[in-house]
């Protein structure tokens, strides 16, 4: 959490170094030095607000690296600094190309990409810092909500406030921390499986989740999206590249904002993948005029006549059209319903669908379990992560993972594995550094970007490792 002093931020004179997009790299060592990037579309800020030690950064393209940084702040307090790139308005310092402000209930789209370099041995987090204000502009401390999204961190620091929940957003599990500073709310999302890059990360499900928790009001204004490192100790060598932020309003104001909830989702179905996993999928919902489907909620019960409620909700912020429900009891019938969310609110629940898990011990000799999660989805494309769990008594060596897509999906880029695809069948083999999964262990590093048909993106129902069907 960035515990800035509003008075301090108001009285600091920013140093602006104008840098055309094609110019050579430039540097700053000033505590609050800034550098204009891409003709002013983005601004780098040293933002060393809680330390007097020297911090120097070099900016090149849509990124930066810290060339001097050796902080020594205690990890039980505020960080020393937050060097970052932003788009929007930070304490009255605004980028020239700026899609903000946008009222939360009128944001049609908001997405971002970034890649980081994060040496080990420090105490820091690599995080988005996203600011909402109760009015459309401010020259000082925003008085609405600060949303932080930690995609990675090193050492022992934790977000401000207290951990209050775990949420599944975009097919990924996040720890949720909430708190209240003197004049603004804070909600932080910490990725349970850290990554060093995100591509077209959809921010809308995070905003919707913050609204559902009462941390963010739909009438407040998005004014600024920042990305950088909160640093407690060390820092030299931390870097960002390929940073981008895009956003658009739903109807352009003037009475054309989203003003209706979606219709109930259709085509919900459940498919048992094992004795403990059911894959749920549905048809992409159609948004009302001036609206965009932001995400879906998934509900589960063992009763056929259940009513969706907070007590039986198992996922929110799902941006794809499928969800893998794991940890279930064998030989048990489960019932599912889905709701769609837009800027105006939540749809009625879908009709229920059911599926029964396999009996315990099915698939004799099974020694693996695969968890496939859609982490992000956009028109024509999606991202997914795969965890291979070795449930057997011996190591899985030189593993080969296979599955078959059901809806014409293709893998376009895969990491931490070698891949081939023939028709709908995908084959992934290990790299030299991840070829052994110990008994009882798991490997969670496989992920990929792919294409889909914009209608159905169902999770594959069957996986095999080294020729053995996984359950």
SS (H, E, C) the chain: CCCCCHHHHHHCCCEEECCCCCCCCEEECCCCEEEEEHHHCEEEECCCCCCCCCCEEEECCCCEEEEECEEECCCCCCCCECCEEEEEEECCEECCCCCCCEEHHHEEEEEEEEEEECCCCCEEEEEEEEEEECCCCCCCCCCCEEEEEEEEEECCCCCCCEEEEEEEECCEEEEEEEEECCCCEEEEEEECCCCCEEEEEECHHHHHHHHHCCCCCCCCEEEEEEEEEEEEEEECCCEEEEEEEEEEECCCCCCCCCCCCCCCCCCCEEEECCCCCEEEECCCCCCCCCCCCCEEEEEEECCCCCCCCHHHEEEEEECCCEEEECCCCCCCEEEEEEEEECCCCECCCCCCEEEECCCCCCCCCCCEEEEEEEEEEECCEEEEEEEEEECCCCCEECCEEEEECCCCCEEEEEECCEEEEECCEEEEECCCCCCEECCCCEEEEEEEEEECCCCCCCCCCCEEECCEECC
Does residue 146 have an active-site annotation?
A: yes
CB 199 within 8 A of CB 124: no
Cα separations in angstroms, 231 against 244, 281, 382, 399: 22, 41, 32, 38
Please identify which of the residues 103, 154, 226, 230 carries the catalytic annotation. Answer: 230
Please identify which of the residues 48, 103, 104, 146 carries the catalytic annotation. Answer: 146
Q: Whats the size of the chain, residue-wise?
A: 471
Active site residues: 146, 230
């Amino acid at each position: 959490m960035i515990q800035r002093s509003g008075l301090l931020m108001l009285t600091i004179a920013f140093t602006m170094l104008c840098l055309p997009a094609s110019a050579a790299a430039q540097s700053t060592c000033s505590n609050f030095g800034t550098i204009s990037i891409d003709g002013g579309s983005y601004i780098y800020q040293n933002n060393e607000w809680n330390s007097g030690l020297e911090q120097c950064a070099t900016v090149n393209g849509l990124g930066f690296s810290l060339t001097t940084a050796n902080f020594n702040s205690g990890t039980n307090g505020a960080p020393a600094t937050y060097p970052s790139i932003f788009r929007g308005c930070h304490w009255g310092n605004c980028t020239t190309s700026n899609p903000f402000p946008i009222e939360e209930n009128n944001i049609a789209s908001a997405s971002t990409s970034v890649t980081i370099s994060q040496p080990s041995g420090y105490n820091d987090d690599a995080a988005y810092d996203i600011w909402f204000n109760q009015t459309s502009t401010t020259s000082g401390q925003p008085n609405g909500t600060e949303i932080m999204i930690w995609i990675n961190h090193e050492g022992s620091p934790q977000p401000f406030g207290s951990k209050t929940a775990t949420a599944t957003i975009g097919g990924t599990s996040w720890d949720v921390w909430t708190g209240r500073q003197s004049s603004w709310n804070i909600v932080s999302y910490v990725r349970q499986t850290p990554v060093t890059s995100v591509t077209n990360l959809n921010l809308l499900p995070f905003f919707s989740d913050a609204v559902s928790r009462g941390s963010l009001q739909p009438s407040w204004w998005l004014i600024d999206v920042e990305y950088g490192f909160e640093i407690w100790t060390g820092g030299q060598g931390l870097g960002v590249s390929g940073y981008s932020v895009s956003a658009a309003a739903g109807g352009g104001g003037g009475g054309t904002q989203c003003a209706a909830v979606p219709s109930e989702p259709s085509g919900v179905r459940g498919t048992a993948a094992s004795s403990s996993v059911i894959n749920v999928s549905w048809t992409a919902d159609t948004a009302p005029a001036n609206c965009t489907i932001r995400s879906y909620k998934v509900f589960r019960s063992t009763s056929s006549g259940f009513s969706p409620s907070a007590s039986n909700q198992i996922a929110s912020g799902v941006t794809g059209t499928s969800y893998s429900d794991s940890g279930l009891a064998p030989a048990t019938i489960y019932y599912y319903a889905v709701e769609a969310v837009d800027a105006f609110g939540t749809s009625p629940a879908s009709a229920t669908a059911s599926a029964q898990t396999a009996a315990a011990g099915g698939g004799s000799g099974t020694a693996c379990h695969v968890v496939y999660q859609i982490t992000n989805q956009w028109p024509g494309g999606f991202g997914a992560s795969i965890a291979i769990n070795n449930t057997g008594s011996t190591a899985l060596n030189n593993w080969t993972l296979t599955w078959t897509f059901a809806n014409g999906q293709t893998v376009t880029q895969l990491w931490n594995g070698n891949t081939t695809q023939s028709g709908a069948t995908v084959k992934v083999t290990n790299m030299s550094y991840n070829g052994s999964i110990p008994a009882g262990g798991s490997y969670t590093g496989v992920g990929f970007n792919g294409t889909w048909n914009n209608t159905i993106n169902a999770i594959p129902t069957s996986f095999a490792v080294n020729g053995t069907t996984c359950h």
